[in-house]
Chains A and B, each alone.
Chain A
C-alpha cells in the first residue's frame, strides 16, 4: 500500500513537471522553469550534504561550477567535432566532473564535520573562485566561456533551438536525479549518513568509519551538483566565474535552509521559492535581496526546520483530526501578519524611492511629505499590536491541539 502511495507521489511529480508549460507558456515562464529545474537539483544535492550528512559547506558551488565549465567545454568540443555524442548526455559530463572534484577534495575535507569542514569548504571555494580569474584560457576570465548546444548528433530530430525543448530535457534529468537522490536516502549508506550526522562517535562504535560515510555522501552530493551545473550549461550555453564563487554557494545554502533541511521536499520548496523571488520580485523592486535576507534570518530564528518543517509540524494535529480548531487562531494572527508585511514593505519602498509620486498596490503615495510615512507607520504599528495581542491565543490553541487527550491515550493502550 505504502509503495503504491509513494509511486503515486512520484508520478504526480513527473506529470506536474511535464504539464507546467501547458499552463504557462510564455518565454519568461519557460526560462523561469528552466532556472527552477537547475535550482532544484542543486538544492537537493546541497541537502544531501548538510541535511543528510551534517556537513555545512560554504563552497558547494565549486562542484556546480566545475561541472558547468567542463560541460561548456564539452559543448565546444562537440561543435568542433572533437567529441561526438548527443548533447542530452551533457549533464552526465557535468556530474562526472563534479564527482571527480569531490573524490579528490573529499579525501582531505571530510576528515571532520562541523566547523573544520565548513572552513575547508570556504577555503577551497575561495581558492577555486580566485584561480578561475587567473587561469583565463580554461575559465575565460571575467567574461566566462560560451558554447552552442545545437551541434552534435541530433536526438530524434530535435535541434535544441528552443528553451522549451531544453525544459523537457531538464525535466527528464531533474526527475532522474531527484529519484536517485531519494533512493540514496533509502540505502544503507544514506541511513548511515544520518547516523554519522547525529552521533559520529556511536557510528564509529558499531564499526562504521564516520569519515568514509561522510566521504561517500560528499561524493554523491558533488556528483549531483555537477549534474545541475551541466543543466546550467545546456540552458544558458555560457558559464562565468560567478557560478562557482561564494555568492552562488551562499544562495544554495539559503534556498535549502529556507525550504527546510532534512526533509526531502524542503530544498525543492526552497529552490522554487527562491527562483520565483529572484525572477519575479526583482522586476518590481531592486531591494529583493534585502527582503530575501530578512526572510532568511526570520526563518533561521523562528522556523529552524524551514517551510517544510513548518508544514510537517502539523502532521500530528492532522492525524488527530484537530486541524479545524487551528483555522480561526491562524486567521486571527495571519491577517495582521500579512498586513504587517505589506505595510513594512510599503514603508521600505517608499523611503527608498526617488520619485515623488509612488504607486504601491494600486495606491498612490507622496514620498515628499511626511504624512504618508506616518500613515503607513501607523498601519505597521497597529498590525504589530494585533499580532502581539493574538499570539497567546494561537499558542494556547496550538498546545491544546497537540495535547493527547485521555480518550486517545486509552484507545492507544487498548
Chain B
C-alpha cells in the first residue's frame, strides 16, 4: 500500500510540475492580455515535435535548448501579427483566434510530421534508475524533469520579482499606460512575455514528449486540463496555478493508482445490487475509470461556487 502511495505521489509530482510549466506561461499571458490562449498546449506540442526533429540529427540536449527558442520566436510572431491585430475586435475574437490557431497547428503538425506517433526517445545518458524503492525503479529521466521544472520556476520567480525587467513587466501588466508614459515599449514587453510564455510551453513539450508520447493529439490531451488548472488556481495568479497544478497532478495520479469504486462503497454500506440493473454502469464505476473527468468536475464546481478560483483576486 505504501509503495503504491509513494509512487503515485512521485508520478503526481512529475505531472503536476509539467502542468505548471504550461500553466505558468498561460497565466502570465492571461494577466497580460486578459485572454486565455487556447493554443498554448499547441505550442507545447510544437516543442515536442521540434525537439524530436532536432534530436534525430543533433541529439536530445541540442533539442532541449533550441526547440523552446524556435517555439518562443513562433509565439512572439503570433502575438505580433495575429493577436495584436485581433485585439481591437474584443475578447471573444481573441479567444476565437487562439482557438482557430490551435486547430490550425494540429493540422499543420499532421501535414509536416504525419499523423503517426513519433519515436522520440529520452537521452541514453539518463537511462538508468534513479533509486529503487520496494523493488520498483524510479527512472532518472523523471527525476531530471522534476529538477528542470523546479530550476525554471525558481529562476522565473527571481526574474519576475527581483530583477529590473521583472518589475517593469509587473508594472506593465497592471498599468500599461503609465509604463508607456515612462518611456518603455509596452507592446514589445507584451510580445516578449508572450514569447517567453510559449517557450516555457515548448520546454514542457520537449521534456514530456518522450514520456507522454509525441503524437498530433498530445495538445488536446493536455490543453483542456491546463485550462482547468489556470481557472481553478484563479486567473492571473501564479501561486494559485502552482497549487492547482500539483493538486490536479496528485489527484489524477492517486485516482489512477487506487482500485476502489462504487462496488466497494455499496458493500461498505451493506447495499445489495444486481448486475443487470439499468444503472449497472453507475454501480460498477471505479475511481480509475473516472480519473480523466475529475479535473473537469472540479472546474465546474469551482466556477459555480468560487468563480475567482483558489487565489484569484476579487472582481471589481
Q: Which residues of A are at the interface with B, using a C-beta cutoff of 8 A? A: 50, 54, 56, 58, 108, 111-112, 114-116, 118-120, 122-124, 126-127, 130-131, 134-138, 246, 250, 253-254, 257, 287, 289-290, 292-294, 296-297, 300-301, 304, 348, 352
Contacts and interface: CB of A to CB of B under 8 A. Distances in A.
Give the 4 A-B residue pairs with the shortest CB-CB distance, closest first. Answer: A293-B104, A123-B299, A290-B107, A130-B293
Interface in B82-125: 82, 85-86, 89, 91-93, 95-97, 99-101, 103-104, 106-108, 110-111
A296 B100 contact: yes
B89 A124 contact: no
B278 A137 contact: yes
Contacts of B151: none
Contacts of B35: 115
A185 B103 CA distance: 31
Given A120-B299, A296-B100, 5 more contacts: A56-B96, A124-B300, A246-B220, A254-B103, A300-B93
Contacts of A126: 224, 293, 296
Nearest to B38: A58
B303 A123 contact: yes
Contact of B91 (A114, A127, A131): A114
B300 A290 contact: no
Contacts of B86: 300-301, 304
Given A112-B307, A131-B293, A134-B285, A304 B100 contact: no
A69 to B, nearest CB: 14
Interface stretch (B48-56, B227-235, B248-256): B227-235
Contacts of A287: 107, 111
B224 A115 contact: no
Contacts of B307: 111-112, 116
B185 interface: no
Nearest to B290: A134
B232 to A, nearest CB: 10
Interface of B: 35-36, 82, 85-86, 89, 91-93, 95-97, 99-101, 103-104, 106-108, 110-111, 220, 224, 227-228, 231, 235, 278, 280-282, 285, 289-290, 292-293, 296-297, 299-300, 303-304, 307
B224 A246 contact: yes
A138 B278 CA distance: 9
Contact of A290 (B104, B220, B285): B104
A120 B100 CA distance: 19
A1 B300 CA distance: 50
Contacts of A137: 278, 280-281
Contacts of A293: 100, 103-104, 106-108
A118 B100 contact: no
B117 to A, nearest CB: 18
A289 B101 CA distance: 13
A290 B108 contact: yes
Given A290-B108, A352-B111, A119 B231 contact: yes
Contact of A50 (B92, B228, B292): B92
Contact of A130 (B99, B235, B285, B296): B296
A289 B107 contact: yes
A393 B89 CA distance: 25
A254 to B, nearest CB: 8
16 contacts: A108-B304, A115-B91, A122-B224, A123-B300, A124-B296, A126-B224, A137-B281, A254-B100, A257-B96, A293-B103, A294-B104, A297-B82, A300-B97, A304-B86, A304-B89, A304-B93
Given A127-B297, A287-B111, A54 B92 contact: yes
A54 B92 CA distance: 9
Most buried by A among B92, B101, B110, B282: B92
Contacts of B235: 115
A112 B82 CA distance: 27
B138 to A, nearest CB: 30
A303 to B, nearest CB: 11
A107 B299 CA distance: 16
B147 to A, nearest CB: 32
B84 to A, nearest CB: 11
Most buried by B among A253, A297, A352: A297
A116 B315 CA distance: 12
Nearest to A55: B92
Contacts of B101: 297
B104 A127 contact: no
B111 A119 contact: no
Nearest to A291: B107
Given A130-B292, A250-B103, A253-B96, A120 B300 contact: yes
A46 B101 CA distance: 21
Nearest to B308: A116
A120 B97 contact: no
Contact of A119 (B103, B227, B278, B285): B227
Contacts of B108: 290, 293
A127 B296 CA distance: 6
B91 A135 contact: no
